[in-house]
Structure 1
Amino acid sequence: MKKLLTISLFLCQPVWAQVEYQAAAIPAALKENAHGVVRRHETTFTVKSAGEATQRIRSVVTVLDKQGDDQATKVVYYNKLSKIIDFEGALYDADGKLIKKLKKADIDDYSTYTDYNLFDDQRFKSAKFPKQPTYPYTVEFVVETAERNLMFYPTWMPQDEQHLAVEQATFVANIPSELAIRYKEMNIQTPVAVTSLSNGGKKYTWTLANCPAVEFEPLSPPAQEQLPIVYTAPTDFEVQEYTGKINTWSDIGRFYHMLNEGRDQIPDHVRQQVINLTKGETTTAGKIRKVYQYLQNETRYVSIQLGIGGWQTIEAEKVALNKYGDCKALTNYTKALLKAAGITAYPALVRAGNDQPDILTDFPCFQFNHVILCVPDGRDTTYLECTSGHDLAGYVGDFTGNRHALLIMPNGSRLVKTPAYRPIDNLQQRRITVKLTDQGDATADVLTRYTGLQQDDHANVFHRLNQDDQRSWLLKHIRIPTFELNTFTFSEEAGQLPTFVETLKIDVRRWATASGTRLFLPLNLMSALSPATPLSQPRRAAVELNANYDFEDSDTITYQLPKGYAPEYELTPLTVESKFGRYTAQVTVEGERVTYIRRVTMHRGRFPASAYSDWVDFRKKVAKADRAQMVFVKSN
């Protein structure tokens, strides 16, 4: 009887725990185009009060090939407001047999300290299973944390990268009766299920099932727009004895203003320095430039991540004394300096990053990671990146440009749009003089002037690298097959936009090809564009041309031919028009001097998926034009 009962109980146990570790149980459709399959992803977020919550995440992923090996690593961040309660892991073979369980000795603990982090209480624990000799295999991680910073609720994204399928995932948020949760669903097929808890609160449940792997197409929108995701946020929160509400953007601005109010006082001697520095300036713009230069000369940027999540600045007096600060502190300090010059300025919270998408403007919550300074002046507004030691006053680049920021004002904070830079702002103007030999060897003197977004990389190289490293950088970025870099110089020019000038002296072996009495000369020396990647199947996603495609390039190349050569035929001027941009090229020959003039203008924008074939056609025509060459014949 005892044996029968044991067998009966065993048979009644769910086979779930076994199946989820067996690779053979994965549906074939989920393996297609996948490097890994999320078998189970279970997130439970339990809010206990406005200032305390726990989160438990259990993930089981089957790794199908070596491109999926990153799933065998787990990194968990924590600080004084987030404590790791549990960190477990296990490794299984293809049949679901346990190979290894994580031990404490397998989990490393690190600080996030870097050379620009002066103070940082952020740390992380990391565990990685050893590389497996055979595929597939399965990894399981369980992480539980206690949270005491409820300014932020979780963002749920179990399918967080391409080539990753999801068999089943759930997200449960348990909210007490006295609190509420706000949420935004994107690409979620099944809407949230809301049920009541025994304590009077509410349980919110989201589920995903059988989501095939996605491959991001070239120039497609951000992952957040293509993959299932749920954003959540509180309405009431508490952190380190500070309380706040979030229903509108104005609520967030009010909380940030309250945290930092009264911290913009500077010492009298600094105030007097500012007054003396700006007294000769008659315009607001002139005063801003002087104050910004003072900031850059007198302070340096460090990262300070302590306490209330890095949202409260250190006092301006301390910045004046110590000569350093993080983005909040330097912005607040600059605000105080401008105030001494009689200029009112306001902080602006922004999500910064060259590859970061804009915030969700219809979902007020703490989506920001940076702060800049906004200086209104009638119809003109100047934005200052206060962490930069070399940027031009008013220039924010692609790091914080062309996106929404939250302007923090004492009353009525609101979203504003940071500057966007047009093609005419982002120039690459190149003039090259080339002397050719009978063998086709070339000596080239190159002068290139970059403005706006096109000068960003060069300016960073100039300010951050020594001369040897600058040379190494150039050798990697000059797009000529075989060349020797003899000399180079970098310099900056003053102007409305940051401008960078690069001069090069280059030797190029066999740039032209000599064959009998003919010389075959490729015309575009350094700026040829490649064709776009054609698609082998119908396009799904929209075509997204970001700020990298807002530019205008012009090249004027003068070739000095060897004596006695004349063109075998002439090239007619070429124009390629498209909704994506415009391309022109023409050649003139005067005796033994050949002048090639090329110009391409591109526009950022979002286009329907059907436009991708037009994009491929446009780039194909441009690439063909950039490969153009002329044939010259030597007279007897």
Structure 2
Amino acid sequence: MLAATPFVFASKQDAVPDWVTTATAQKLPDYPAETNAVVLLDDTTYTVASDGTAIEHCRHVVKILRPQGRDEGLVSIPFDKDDKILSLHVWSIGPDGHQYALKDNQIGEVGYGDGDILFEDVRAKTATPPGRDPGGVIAYEYEQRSRPYLTEDTWSFQGEIPALTQSYTLVLPPGYTFGTVWANHQEEKPIDLENQHWRWEMNNIPAVNLDRVLLRPSEESLVGRMTIHYAGPGIPLASDGTWKSIGEWYTSLSKDRLVATPDIAAKATELTAGKTDFYDRAAAIGDFVQTQIRYVAIELGIGGYQPHFAGDVFRNRYGDCKDKATLLSAMLSSVGIHSALVMVDTSRGVIAADAPSIVGNHMIAAIEIPNGYSSPKLHSVITAKTGRRYLIFDPTWDKTPFGQLEYNLQGGYGLLVEGQDSQIVQFPVLSPELNTIERTGSFKLAADGSLQGTITEKRYGDVSENRRRLYTMGDAKEQTEFLDRVLGQDFAAFSISGFKVENAGALDKDLTTSFAITADHFARMMGPLLVIRPRILGSDEPEVDHKVRHVPVNLYETMQEKDDFTITLPAGYGVDEAPDPVNVDLGFASYQSSSTVQGNVLHYTRIYTVRQITLPADKYSEVQKLAGIIASDEQSRAVLKKQ
């Protein structure tokens, strides 16, 4: 529809406003050559009415600097039934100076639902202005009325492109008060404009664009934001800027949804029948919710925050993350196990411990552990200020064993929702021994350089997630193509037989794959010599570059990888040269390997261990050093000589 509607040159009546031309006239700093676009102006005024509703008025101007920045000129303003767009105007100035003003019929509307979101009422007003080429300027202005679910508003003033001039103005009714918390930026004091008006201004905010950064954290964990919490007479459950107040708000929102129905209680009793151990009882219910409740989201209005009733989730056998956590809590409570909801974000670092807000996109559970109880199977355990111990568990992450927590949440923060006892908690970083890969292989090398043998690989923990998904949900073609791609990284020509998979769906057991392989031309023949790589297959080398590092290093997960390969040499050959052993420990990670000879057998072993998941930027040189050591070892060669 938009493509079929001709754009209209701006007349004097609806020409580009003065605030757009003023923003366009600003002199730009010397940005790096790869800068795609720049925000010339972003001005927001947030006006709160005495009845709790709010009006947001926003003006935004962006200039395109490179062809890769054209998408920055696309306009998309989300709304739902509680956030109504009152007006939206869009203008643009082409690189040739032509001005355009879009008519109402050139502004479209789209829905957001896709993937596992079956339905949600969030939609967006969209526009595709002309002139989105280098040198072009896009501007829009909108006004939106909302009824906030909690008395807070977050100003995100940093993004993927730099911003030249930004401001945020807060207008409150008489008798209202406010406070601010800041994430990834020092606190800035507002300008008091009097009459309950305050204004914050930002200039020359740099971009946070990690597209070309290796081992990168999430951009959302680095961008600056300010959250305003306000309160006034007649507003129930107003946020006072503490985690406790947010937890109390969410407790009121969810408590009646956590009630167990008779059907829920009956199922929980069935699952725990004959089980007396706490872990066994909790794990039985956790496994049910994890595997038998499909992830499907239906979110309407406050339903983006409020879970559905546990009884409805159980009856329908589907729900989103907060629904699954709610059902889990209801089932546990029916057999006498207390639990609580935990508000988190799927990217580590987005939730900042000293910046309380409802920023976050995920919900998990905290299962209270009885006093004095211990089990070697409980790993993701935290202790609250109350002294209660909780097992942190995500019933949505269906390939992480019960008792553990997925890698992207480890080390991060979440809000434990326990009414007046609500608090921010930090999740543990789990031991590398809980996330493992073990490869063993026995091979025979022929005098013509070909290799034959068998390989067994065992995976446990998050390092098995993708392969468990492949071997439980993928078809034969996908599985074959995957194995060919993996082995093709280490063998130029090969064939396999007897491929076998065990325990793909048993999260508490090793995912085990085994097969026989024949690889031609594995060894290189050089007259009376054969040159081989003792590290038969598998690569551990971190992907690094040689750029200056400014952001933290994300190693993603703790883990331990072990290889143990034996190669029987061809008759009449002995080892003339073997790679030197490697033993390096950098604290955050260690790497050991050795190549030894016993008779006519060459034995290669190595252990690679990662103990930390996030490092400061100044540790990047050590990661580069480690990557170089591993790369050198993986490519090292043994020389065999005919006796």
- Post-superposition Cα deviations, 1:503-541, rounded to whole Å, max 9, x if no partner, equal 34444443322222222112223333446645455x444
Match of 1:512 in 2: 523
1:382-531 mapped onto 2 (5 Å cutoff):
382-389=391-398, 391-478=400-487, 479-480=489-490, 482-484=492-494, 486=496, 488-492=499-503, 499-530=510-541
Query: Which shifted more, 501-510 or 70-79?
Result: 501-510
Whole-angstrom distance in 2 between the partners of 1:334 and 1:266 = 10
Say whether the 8 Å CA contact 2:81–2:301 is kept in structure 1. Answer: yes
SS of 2:503's partner is strand
Within 1, Cα distance between the matches of 2:298 and 2:148? Answer: 17
Residues 211-263 of structure 1: CA distance to partner in whole angstroms, max 9, x if unpaired? 4556656546654565543233334699xx97543432222222222222233
> Residues 591-635 of structure 1: CA distance to partner in whole angstroms, max 9, x if unpaired?
443221111112225555443333322322222122111111234
Q: Structure 1: how far apart are the matches of 2:19 and 2:45?
A: 19
Of 625-634 and 480-489, deviating more is 480-489
Paired residues for 1:115-134 under 5 Å: 115-129=115-129
Q: Distance in 1 between matches of 2:500 and 2:481?
A: 13
The equivalent position to 1:366 in structure 2, one of 358, 364, 367, is: 358
Q: Identify the residue that residue 613 of structure 1 maps to in structure 2.
A: 621
2:328 is aligned, of 334, 358, 361, to 334
Per-residue CA distance 1:355-401 (angstroms, 9 max, x = gap):
34241212222133222222212255333322355543233312433
Distance 1:282 1:625 in 2: 50
Query: Displacement of 1:586 after TM fit?
Result: 0.8
TM-aligned CA distance change 1:104 to 1:480, over 3 Å: farther
Match of 2:637 among 608, 613, 629: 629
SS in 2 for 1:275: helix
Distance in 1 between residues matched to 2:319 and 2:634, nearest whole Å = 48
The answer to whether residue 174 in structure 2 is matched with residue 171 in structure 1 is no
Distance 1:226 1:360, change over 3 A: closer
Distance 1:408 1:303, change over 3 A: same
What displacement does 1:429 show?
Answer: 1.0
Whether the 8 Å contact between 2:229 and 2:241 is mirrored in structure 1 is: no
Rounded Cα–Cα distance in structure 1 between residues aligned with 2:465 and 2:60: 40
Indicate yes or no: 2:574 matched with 1:571. Answer: no
Contact 1:278 1:287 in 2 (8 A): yes
| Aligned amino acid, residue 136 of structure 2 | Y
Equivalent of residue 308 in structure 2, options 311, 314, 321: 314
Q: Distance in 1 between matches of 2:541 and 2:287?
A: 41
Code of the aligned partner of 2:456: L
Counterpart residue number, 1:54:
55
Q: Percent identity?
A: 22
The alpha-carbon distance between structure 1 residues 26 and 37, as it changes in their structure 2 partners (threshold 3 A), is: farther
Q: Which letter does structure 2 place at the counterpart of 1:604?
A: Q
Q: Distance in 1 between matches of 2:223 and 2:145?
A: 28
- What's the secondary structure of 2:421's corresponding residue? coil
- Output the CA distance in 2 between the equivalents of 1:295 and 1:382: 16
Contact residue 532 and residue 620 of structure 1 kept, 8 A: no
Counterpart Cα distance in 2 of 1:434 and 1:393: 37
Alignment CA distance shift 1:103-1:449 (3 Å): farther
Show the counterpart of 2:377: none
Out of 324-333 and 13-22, give the one that drifted further.
Answer: 13-22
Report the counterpart of residue 7 of structure 1 in structure 2.
none
Deviation by residue 1:444-492 (Cα, 9 ceiling, x = unmatched): 5322111222122222333432332233344444533635563544332
Distance 1:154 1:249, change over 3 A: closer
- Residue of structure 1 equivalent to 2:257: 263
Partner of 1:30, secondary structure, is coil
Aligned to 2:113: 113
Q: Is the 1:299–1:325 Cα contact (8 Å) retained in structure 2?
A: yes
SS of alignment partner, residue 478 of structure 2 = helix
1:283 counterpart = 2:257: no
Residue 156 of structure 2: aligned partner: 157
Residue by residue, what CA displacement relative to the aligned partner does 1:76-101 show, whole Å, maximum 9, x if unpaired?
A: 22211112223333332335432x44
Please say if 1:18 is aligned against 2:21: yes
Q: Could you say if the C-alpha distance between residues 474 and 70 of structure 1 is closer, same or farther in structure 2, counting changes exceeding 3 Å?
A: farther
Q: Distance in 2 between matches of 1:357 and 1:457?
A: 23
RMSD over aligned CA atoms reads: 3.3
Q: Which moved more, 1:60-69 or 1:218-227?
A: 218-227
Residue 220 (structure 2) pairs with residue 233 (structure 1):
no
Partners of 2:569 and 2:127 in 1: CA distance: 63
Instruction: Provide the secondary structure at the position in 1 that maps to 2:349.
Output: coil
In structure 1, what is the Cα distance between the partners aligned to 2:185 and 2:337?
48
**Mapped partners of 1:246, 1:431: distance in 2:** 57
Distance 1:483 1:152 in 2: 64
8 Å contact kept, 1:177–1:202? no
Q: SS state of the match for residue 572, structure 1? A: coil
1:201 Cα deviation after fit: 1.6
Q: TM-score, normalised by structure 1?
A: 0.85
Partner of 1:27: 28
Question: What is the aligned length?
Answer: 607
Matched, 1:135 2:145: no
C-alpha separation in 1, matches of 2:406 and 2:518 = 34
The residue type paired with residue 403 of structure 2 is: G
Shift in alpha-carbon separation, 1:114–1:215, aligned structure 2, 3 A: closer
1:531-546 equivalence runs, <5 A = 533-535=544-546, 539-541=549-551, 543-546=552-555
- Partner residue of 2:556 out of 525, 544, 547: 547
Aligned pair partner of 2:294 in 300, 317, 324: 300
Q: Which residue number in structure 2 is paired with residue 349 of structure 1? A: 343
Question: SS in structure 2 opposite 1:261?
Answer: helix
One-letter amino acid matched to 2:281: K
Question: In the aligned structure 1, how far is the partner of 2:516 from the partner of 2:105?
Answer: 56
Q: Which residues of structure 2 form unaligned runs of 5+? A: 1-15, 375-389
Give the distance between the partners of 1:50 and 1:592, measured in 2 at CA.
Answer: 85
Tell me by how many angstroms 1:303 deviates. 0.9
Q: Aligned partners of 1:213 and 1:322: how far apart in 2? A: 45
What is the alpha-carbon distance in structure 2 between the residues aligned to residue 506 and residue 86 of structure 1?
A: 66
When residues 249 and 610 of structure 1 are mapped into structure 2, their CA distance, relative to the original with a 3 A threshold, is: closer
Q: Which residue of 2 aligns with 1:84?
A: 85
Quote the Cα distance in structure 2 between the aligned partners of 1:26 and 1:321: 61
Contact 2:399/2:462 (CA < 8 Å) preserved in 1?
no
Relative to structure 1, the CA distance from residue 628 to residue 250 in structure 2 (aligned partners, 3 Å threshold; closer, same or farther) is same
SS at match of 1:547: coil
Partner of 1:6: none
Partner of 1:205: 200
Deviation at 1:587, TM superposition (A): 0.9
